[in-house]
């Protein structure tokens, strides 16, 4: 039997799926994160190996497996240097004999997410989760991206950006430098922190986590729905940033007057009224032929799809 491999390597976890040559699921397995920029090359390799080898062990005659095609969609894969690093990680001594080098795709995780969410020849994917990213491809096969440079260089429209702005708005309110906001109460409540001084200690602790900062976006959304003007401004401002990324990619791909799918990915889109609805309204006004597509499949299914197309 012929097998294909799909890998979704993210900053939170790595998901592996093995299918037969018709796309039928054989096995799926998970391990820890594999974005080497977050966890280092050695840990990325260990987690990728663990996920793949764990899946292989659950298939009969695993010693004879050579994947006819494979697709690795990897977070942090943004440059030629990244591709070289990931190539070395993929083709390590423990898994390289299972791979066919000429039929192994190494791409950014946005590419497999778009493949999972849309079958259109013209499509854009916008991620607004812990981080943000925007990627698109057109009918000519041309690709373009915007944002996705992580929390220091470019993460606008993300949960992290919303969380940071909320924390700063809280401190401005506490000092009297800014407008009063319910965030001064709701953030402390949701973090189970008793005072602003404790919040300062929490923020600058050695266990700092982007995920924990990004999780504050849920509090901002809840506080906006309570009528808090500061929270509403933060969310609408980040929706505008997501809009700018989408417009940038659409213009690069010459999609402004064409039918194209836009795939939404990420927990920030759960904030319907003050983020998602704001973004959709702006997009409808700009692109009359846009088709909105919430992602209902796993990104790893997009990796399998691309691997099958590459057979």
* pLDDT for 147 beyond 60: yes
The CATH 3.30.420.40 portion of the chain extends over 3-99, 122-294
For residue 8 the two structure tokens come to: 């979704």
Could you report the per-residue pLDDT of 171-189, keeping only the tens digit for each?
999 999 999 999 999 999 9
Could you report the per-residue pLDDT of 201-242, keeping only the tens digit for each?
999 987 778 889 999 999 999 999 999 999 999 999 999 999
Residue 177 has what pLDDT? 96
Could you report the per-residue pLDDT of 74-114, keeping only the tens digit for each?
988 988 999 999 999 999 999 999 999 999 999 999 999 99
Sheet of strand 132-137, all strands in order from the earlier edge strand to the far edge: 143-146, 132-137, 123-128, 260-265, 290-294
Residue 183 has what pLDDT? 98
Q: How confident is the model at residue 60 (pLDDT cuts 50, 70, 90)?
A: low
Could you report the per-residue pLDDT of 236-293, keeping only the tens digit for each?
999 999 999 999 999 999 999 999 999 998 899 999 999 999 999 999 999 999 999 9
Residue 163 has what pLDDT? 97
pTM equals 0.87
Residue 61 has what pLDDT? 62
Residue 185 has what pLDDT? 97
Residue 170 has what pLDDT? 98
* pLDDT for 63 beyond 80: no
Tell me the CATH class for 3-99: alpha beta
Average pLDDT over residues 305-309: 96
Residue 148 has what pLDDT? 87
Average pLDDT over residues 120-136: 94
Domain covering 122-294, topology: Nucleotidyltransferase; domain 5 (3.30.420)
Residue 243 has what pLDDT? 98
* pLDDT for 22 beyond 70: yes
């Amino acid at each position: 039997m012929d097998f294909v491999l799909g890998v979704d390597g993210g900053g939170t976890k790595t998901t592996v799926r093995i299918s037969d040559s018709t796309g039928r699921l054989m096995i799926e397995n998970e391990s820890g994160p594999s974005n080497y920029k977050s966890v280092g090359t050695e840990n990325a390799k260990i987690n990728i190996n663990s996920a793949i080898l764990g899946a292989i062990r659950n298939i009969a005659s695993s010693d004879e497996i050579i994947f006819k095609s494979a697709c690795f969609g990897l977070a942090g894969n943004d440059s030629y240097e990244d591709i070289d690093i990931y190539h070395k990680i993929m083709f390590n001594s423990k898994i390289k004999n299972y791979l066919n080098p000429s039929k192994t795709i190494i791409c950014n995780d946005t590419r497999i997410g778009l493949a999972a969410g849309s079958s259109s020849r013209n499509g854009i994917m916008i991620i607004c989760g812990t981080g943000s990213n925007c990627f698109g491809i057109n009918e000519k096969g041309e690709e373009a991206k915007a944002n996705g440079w992580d929390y220091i260089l470019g993460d606008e429209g993300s949960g992290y950006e919303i969380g940071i702005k909320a924390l700063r708005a809280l401190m401005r309110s506490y000092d009297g430098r800014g407008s009063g906001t319910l965030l001064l109460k709701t953030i402390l409540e949701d973090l189970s922190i008793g005072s602003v001084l404790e919040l300062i200690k929490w923020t600058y602790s050695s266990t700092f986590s982007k995920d924990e900062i990004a999780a504050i976006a849920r509090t901002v959304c809840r506080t906006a729905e309570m009528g808090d003007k500061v929270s509403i401004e933060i969310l609408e401002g980040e929706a505008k940033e997501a809009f700018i990324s989408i417009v940038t990619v659409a213009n690069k791909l010459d999609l402004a007057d064409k039918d194209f799918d836009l795939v939404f990915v990420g927990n920030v889109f759960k904030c319907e009224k003050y983020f998602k609805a704001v973004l959709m309204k702006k997009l409808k006004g700009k692109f009359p032929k846009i088709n909105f597509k919430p992602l209902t499949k796993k990104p790893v299914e997009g990796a399998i799809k691309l691997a099958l197309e590459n057979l």
